[in-house]
Amino acid sequence: MKHLDEVAQANQNMWEAEVQKGGGYTQPWLDLDTAVLQQMAAGELDPFPEPLYELFPYHLLQGVAGKDVLCLAAGGGQQTAVFGLLGANVTVVDLTPGQLNGDEKAAAHYGYPITAVQADMRDLSALPDGAFDLVFQADSLAYVPDLRKVYDEVARVLRPGGLYRVKHSQPAVHRVGWNGRTYTIDAPYAETVQHREDGGVEFRHRMDDIFNGLLDAGFTIQRVHEAPHYLQSYAGAEPGSWGHETRYIAGGFAIVARLNL
């Protein structure tokens, strides 16, 4: 992997620390049921069990057997486990070695092959042109200052007509706090950079870059899906916790875009 810039190094350190702490997004899913995953892909599962709802929209899981799927900046052995069990040829790219270890652990547990690549999502030069039918990206673009660089790399590694699923945070509520009574917006909309207490660096991306960046990179937007977090039952969640917050604050959205032929 090429030399990391200051932002990438900070976020790699932060995620490696999360792996060591056993954070939720770093734990491989080792108890998945293939029959349940197939039901989910077919739209026959309601309600969706936690944490599988993170894979919305679920129709993208249909017909992935034999397809080449890239899980981008999505290490940890979660999304890759779902696609691997459904028969896809899975590649995962992540910045953090500990996260990739989770993907390899899940693959060994279930017995499917996987290709794990340590790389910055802004530089996919380790991957060939036109190699994938689907690129599935979790909520990770907040960790790069320029999302258009990622869009361009995705366009290069996708086959013409291939699909790109990318999740974004809601820009207006990118930084929210709890004051003991209500949720508050903690930073002006013009402020784009957040230096987190754990050492990570996050960036607010605005709607013009989120959507026009895809169009400029050669994609056609197919659908936009709001995150279904608000449908989960968090009735007993502690005020100020993530579960409580998602009952009041929009949880982001996923865009499904097709690379133009």
Q: Is residue 34 part of a domain?
A: yes
Question: How far is Cα 38 from Cα 44, in angstroms, rounded to an integer?
Answer: 9
Neighbour count for residue 81 (Cβ, 10 Å)? 27
- Proportion of the chain above pLDDT 70, given as a percent: 98
SS3 123: coil
Q: Is the pLDDT of residue 23 over 70?
A: yes
Q: What is the pLDDT of residue 106?
A: 97
Question: How far is Cα 187 from Cα 33, in angstroms, rounded to an integer?
Answer: 42
| pLDDT tens profile 136-148 | 998 899 999 999 9
SS3 106: helix
What's the CATH code of the domain at 116? 3.40.50.150
For helices 97-110 and 6-21, the axis angle rounded to 10 degrees is 50
Determine the structural domain holding residue 101 and report its residue range. Answer: 6-259
CB-CB contact of 80 with 74 (8 Å)? yes
Prediction pTM value = 0.94
How deeply is 261 buried, as exposed, middle or buried, from its count of CB atoms within 10 A (0-12, 13-18, 19+)? exposed
Q: What is the pLDDT of residue 90?
A: 98
Structure tokens at 121: 């999502």
- How many structural domains does the chain have? 1
Q: What is the 3-state secondary structure (H, E, C) of 33-76?
A: CHHHHHHHHCCCCCCCCCCHHHHCCHHHHCCCCCCEEEEECCCC
Q: Is residue 1 part of a domain?
A: no
| pLDDT tens profile 94-134 | 999 999 999 999 999 999 999 999 999 999 999 999 999 99
Q: Is residue 28 part of a domain?
A: yes
| pLDDT tens profile 31-58 | 999 999 999 888 887 766 777 888 889 8
Q: Is residue 186 part of a domain?
A: yes
| pLDDT tens profile 209-252 | 999 999 999 999 999 999 887 777 667 789 888 788 888 887 78
